[in-house]
Structure 1
Amino acid sequence: MSTKDYQSSTTKALLAFTEKFGTDFLGRSREQVNTIIHSQLAYLKDSQFNTHYINPRSSINLDTTKVLLHEDRLKAFLDGEKIAPITIDMALTQKCSYACTFCYAGLQQNPSSPADWNVYKSFLNDCVKIGHKPGQGVKAISLVSDGESTESPHFEKFIDHAFNNGINIASGTNGLKLRDCNLRTIAEKLTYLRINFNAAHEEAYCQIMGASSRSLESVLQTTIELVSLKKQLNLPITIGYQMVLMPEYADQVLPLASMARDLGIDYLVIKHCSDDEQGRLGVDYNWYQSEAATELLSVAEQFSTDQYSSQAKWSKIKTGRDRIYSRCYGTPLLLQMSGTGIVAPCGSFFHKDYDNYHIGDIKDTSFFDIWSSDKYDEVIAFLRSEQFDAKKMCATLCLQDKVNEVLYNIIEKDAVYTKPKSTNLPHLNFI
């Protein structure tokens, strides 16, 4: 199976434009990419691709934070109690068989050694035990962070044990190694599965994601099987694709929005690319705020129907590199852990050069003891002190950014929030 085997006439037409200047997709000029996009937009203007359009956020809003829905945990945090994170974002390894051009995790290498299953089993049990009172432990774990967790031999066992412990579990993946998993078990126990998928054109996918055509075929087949399982068994799992957008391959946005709809998945989310504080990925943040980008993404959202949501993460795309806050308040509520087992406040500080932020390693110390330690308190306190400035010392628009904005407004601006309605906010424990 190739991408061509599961494409509507609209998808095929949009893809045909992308080959106008050849198939060296990362070697084209910005002007050439813009020319292709103009042709795609002109084609769509005369088509009926958006006949069944509805607001992409009417049923699922992926561009927000759900921290305000956790009133008890938030109140305890604001009252100064030591709380368990609502969500932990982590990986089971730093390995990955892809070589994505946009990968931030590749900038955050630290000394690695595998953890055995007993370490992870103990970790998951500790996630239930910690907290400011019984029953207020970790509510959700997302297997994303700095590695491809499906590469770990413990991936399925981890999902099973977390699920049995009452912890919501989700996975972000390139999707390749899912072919070796029991898809039914995964589909029954994951809250959501998000597959990184950056291009609808086969050669563009391979170049952008550092993968082979065979890998692409495998991911597509897995996607189709998962969609079928969800429908057959009436499962609540949310299945989506994520595109990390850079201007170099912006002509893939519209074909992918169309193809994702063809596949029958629940959503496509299009997000910015995060760069480190040195800007080593060379992300052009000015482009995200351009009129051209706004028009492109607005049209991509028009592929949405009552069964499928295509949406851009506007809040971060329009923010650029700028934050409204200097202190980092969000890490106690949304903590991160490296695929090496290192517990750090966030992914910006996984690298060995930031070992002063490393609170502990679950291979050496239990997570309960790490969370209970003075070192944990010291790192968290430093992040919210005047000695720390997130505007200068952090990577661009981190995972905690939206949580930090809410907490900044509450703590520093005395903002009063009301509990939002949750009708279109999925996966409530993934804040």
Structure 2
Amino acid sequence: MSNQTNINSDNSINTKEGKLILDSHKLAYHYDRVEAFENGERVAPVSVDMALTRACGAMCSFCYAMVQEPQERANIKTKEALNLLDDFKEIGVKGVSLISDGESTLSKAYVPFIQHASNIGIDVGNATNGWEWESEKIEQVLPHLTWVRFTCAAGTPEGYAKIMFKDKTQTQVFDRAMKNIKYAVELKKRKKLKVTLGIQMVLMPEFKDEIIPFAKLAAELGVDYGVIKHCSDDEFGTLGVDYSKYEEMYESLNEAEKYSNDNTKIIIKWEKIKNKGKPSYKRFYGPQFLLQISGSGLVAPSGMFFNARYSKFHIGNYIDERFKDIFKSDRYWKIMNYLASPNFNAETMMGTLPIQHYVNEALDNHIKDIKRILPHDPNDKKPLHVNFL
């Protein structure tokens, strides 16, 4: 098993810009909300994971959005997206991640959304394949972003095209992404921007030969980090992830970590990879702190519930009504309370390892007195991206 030489005791990685936590949570830096939650108060999400569209030009083999169909595709207008941010600000949301179930760079609202979020004091990050992230768009948004994480399924052009485009001969998608990543890295250096840039590989057992090439690519690009994570699946195993085979890749993952250097850290999400798709909790508290919204405008506790078959967990749509009203509604809190009750079992009633996993595990252990969440020491320097749980 890995000696995990890159990893501090708090599961953070030391980068040239500060501590980076990708394999844990940051609830200690929002302890006031943990206390309010424990006291039975209604808390606003610290972070929201969302998309501005459900459209995407990629066809990634590992993409969870494939199992989030069917649901309607909506055209989110810029005004609606900006109203959403204003509502976030009013209720106390601190960070917004443009990830979720669509490629937000394709939305007309993309640039004004990021700029407005920055202007009103909400941190915003973006995960993207980078294909439509041309230089003009990069220059418009990079100064306003806290982080950008590029989906990079493989380290070789052929592997990348096969996994993300289902045709290994179409390597132009790799070339386009690399061009745009390199431009962002250069712009960050030239303008001395504080944004963190990384690439991410979603690892399925059949991609094992791309682990080392991915690590080499991250170092060659000069991004701040390259992260390798597990692949989530639904409770029916639709994507066919064989979690028992992750252990066979530990040696390659250990080797990949060795490609870390002073500029680029290779990060393996060991906690989730070792978990093998088996949560330690039954109650699902995480959505109260980390909410997800579909690129259709649908507000649901988690992306695990976007599919129409989970309509009983669908709270509303911010295209139809203001988010602040959805948040205050009886339906919102009825669903949140149900997920946190003995009537819900995360082991059997939802997919594996949701985006709220780290947060939920910590809250579950806190409530059970297995491991209490403690407030951070105000004398210690905060890690990067504290508003992204």
Under a length normalisation based on structure 1, what TM-score does the superposition of the two structures give?
0.83
- Name the aligned partner's letter for residue 333 of structure 2: D
AA partner of residue 295 (structure 2): G
Is residue 362 from structure 1 mapped to residue 318 from structure 2 by the alignment? yes
RMSD of the alignment, in Å? Answer: 1.6
Does 2:126 match 1:188?
Answer: no
Contact 2:235-2:348 within 8 A present in 1 as well:
yes
- For 1:282, the aligned partner's letter is G
Q: Looking at CA atoms only, which structure, 1 or 2, has the larger radius of gyration?
A: 1
Letter in 1 for 2:6: N
- The AA in structure 2 aligned to 1:76 is A
In structure 1, C-alpha distance between the alignment counterparts of 2:57 and 2:373, rounded to whole Å: 44
Q: Aligned pair 1:100/2:56, yes or no?
A: no
Given that 1:179 and 1:218 are in contact with CA atoms closer than 8 Å, whether structure 2 keeps it comes out as no
**Which residue of the other structure, out of 95, 103, 113, is the alignment partner of 1:158?**
113
The residue aligned with 1:36 is: none
Q: How far apart, in 1, do the equivalents of 2:51 and 2:297 lie? A: 8
Letter in 2 for 1:98: A
1:203 aligns with 2:191: no
Please report how far the alpha carbon of residue 181 of structure 1 lies from its aligned counterpart in structure 2 after TM superposition: 4.3
Contact 1:92 1:340 in 2 (8 A): yes
Match of 2:14 in 1: 58
After superposition, where does 1:170-189 map in structure 2 within 5 Å?
170-179=125-134, 181-189=136-144
Task: Count residues in correspondence.
Answer: 371
Q: Distance in 2 between matches of 1:311 and 1:420?
A: 23
**1:190/1:428 CA distance change after superposition, 3 Å:** same
Match of 2:253 in 1: 297
Residues 205 and 199 from structure 1, CA distance in 2 versus in 1: closer, same or farther, beyond 3 angstroms?
same
- Separation (CA, whole Å) in 2 of partners of 1:370 and 1:61: 31
One-letter amino acid of the structure 1 residue matched with residue 59 of structure 2: A
Which of 211, 219, 222 is equivalent to 2:177? 219
- Partner residue in 1 for 2:192: 234
Tell me which residue corresponds to 2:41: 81
* Pair 1:341-2:302 in alignment: no
User: Are 1:411 and 2:367 counterparts?
Assistant: yes
- Deviation >6 Å, runs of 4+: none
- Listed as ranges, the gaps of 5+ residues in structure 2 are 8-12
Any conservation in 1 of the 2:31–2:374 contact (CA below 8 Å)? Answer: no
If the length of structure 2 is used for normalisation, what is the TM-score?
Answer: 0.92
Q: Contact 2:27 / 2:373 at 8 angstroms: preserved in 1?
A: no
Aligned residue number for residue 14 of structure 1:
none
Q: Distance in 1 between matches of 2:31 and 2:206?
A: 42
Matched with 1:425 is: 383
241, 244, 250: which one aligns with 2:202:
244
1:249-288 matches, within 5 Å, as 249-288=207-246
Instruction: Please give the per-residue CA displacement for 1:345-379, whole angstroms capped at 9, x wherever unaligned.
Output: 00010011111100000011110100000000100
Matched, 1:402 2:358: yes
Give distance in 2, aligned partners of 1:180 and 1:342. 31
Distance 2:66 2:372 in 1: 39
Query: Matches of 1:416 and 1:259 in 2, distance apart?
Result: 39
Correspondence 1:61-140 to 2 at 5 A: 61-109=21-69, 110-130=71-91, 137-140=92-95
Q: Out of 272, 278, 281, which is 1:322 matched to?
A: 278
Q: What are the ranges of 5 or more consecutive residues in structure 1 without an aligned counterpart?
A: 1-52, 131-136
Q: How does 1:366-405 map to 2 (within 5 A)?
A: 366-405=322-361
- AA matched with 1:397: L
Contact kept? 1:151, 1:177, Cα under 8 Å:
yes
CA–CA distance in 1 between the matches of 2:309 and 2:388? 29
Alpha-carbon deviations, 1:88-107, whole Å to 9, x = none?
00000110001001111111
Shift of 1:178: 0.5
Query: How far 1:249 sits from its partner (Å)?
Result: 1.8
Q: Distance in 2 between matches of 1:301 and 1:180?
A: 31
Contact 1:141 1:169 in 2 (8 A): yes
For 2:136 and 2:302, locate their aligned partners in 1 and report how far apart those are by CA, in whole Å: 29
Deviations 1:136-182 (A, max 9, x none): x0000000011111111111111011111100000001111111642
In the TM superposition, what is the alpha-carbon distance from 1:116 to its structure 2 partner? 1.2
Tell me by how many angstroms 1:183 deviates: 1.4
Decide whether the 8 Å contact of 1:241 with 1:268 is kept in 2.
yes
Report the residue type matching 1:230 in the other structure. K
Paired letter, 1:321: G
Q: Match for 1:118: what amino acid?
A: K
Task: Please state whether the residue corresponding to 2:320 is helix, strand or coil.
Answer: coil
- 1:418 and 1:368 map into 2 onto residues whose CA distance is 30
Distance (whole Å) between structure 2 residues aligned to residue 105 and residue 182 of structure 1: 25
Aligned to 2:286, what secondary structure does the other structure show? coil
The aligned residue for residue 263 of structure 2 is 307
* Aligned sequence identity (%): 41
